[in-house]
Amino acid sequence: MEHNSCSIVVENVDRYFGKQQILYNINLKISYSQIFGLLGPSGSGKTTLVKMISGIDMPTHGQIYVLGEKMPKLSMMNKMGYMAQSDALYGDITAEENLKFFAAMYNISKRDCTKRIDEVMELVNLSEDLKKRVSQYSGGMKRRLSLAIAMLNQPPVLILDEPTVGIDPVLRKSIWDELNGLSKKGTTIIITTHVMDEADKCDNLCMIRNGRVIAVGTPEILKKDTDSNTIEEAFLYYGGKR
């Protein structure tokens, strides 16, 4: 099949850890410049799936293509921003030094680096804490810094694993406004969540439970097809079928 027609294609993907199967025959097509949500409870396989899409992990069976390239592929790292559930930050240096380290990894020029650091830190409301050592950051501040790092190189694909956990509602809204703005400019965004109101903000949604896709569609269609008022009701409907 033609793998360039979609930003991300997941074909017949299984993932085992030892003898334990974590994901079962996952098939997804994610269009360019949309916010695609992976909704499911903890342990449903969301993180395992996004790690494979980002090239950190490999499927046991099946293939994953990002921007037409079969994953994992090292040269794709500059085209992706990835925010993990656990913050991969250096605590003994400042936020600014963390950002400069990742900017160097992304080959961002020195001229653009300062500008981008200012932009992303303003977005996550950490501008005043730029020179602060990360070990002095609270858990919520670390999440926000991780998000800033993921967005630093303005990648065409942004993968965010539960990015707004521990972030207050006002800031969460401004982050979602930014994500919507990025998708309108052409960025494909995958976001994992177990928060139902966030799932409602996605252009398309994949509901995943016990390692299996139970439904895919726009939030509106998923609610309409199940005669539900909320995404939570729709999830319970599809989940009950298993």
Taking phi over 0 as left and psi of -120 to 50 as alpha, with beta for the rest, 192 belongs to beta
Helix, strand, coil percentages for the chain (3-state, nearest 5): 40, 25, 35
pLDDT digits (tens, 9 = 90+) for 207-228: 999 999 999 999 999 999 999 9
How far apart are alpha carbons 51 and 30 in whole angstroms? 16
How far apart are alpha carbons 221 and 223 in whole angstroms? 5
How far apart are alpha carbons 67 and 6 in whole angstroms? 7
pLDDT band at 242 (very low <50, low <70, confident <90, very high): very low
How far apart are alpha carbons 187 and 168 in whole angstroms? 25
Share of the chain above pLDDT 70, in %: 98
Nearest alpha-carbon partner for 22 in 65, 59, 56, 53: 59
Q: What is the mean pLDDT of residues 81-93?
A: 89
Domain spans in the chain, listed from the N-terminal domain onward = 8-87+157-240
Q: Is 194 in a helix, a strand, or coil?
A: coil
Share of the chain above pLDDT 90, in %: 74
pLDDT at 191: 96
End-to-end Cα distance, the chain: 30
Q: Which residue has the higher pLDDT, 59 or 87?
A: 59
The CATH fold assigned to 8-87+157-240 is: Rossmann fold (3.40.50)
pLDDT band at 241 (very low <50, low <70, confident <90, very high): low
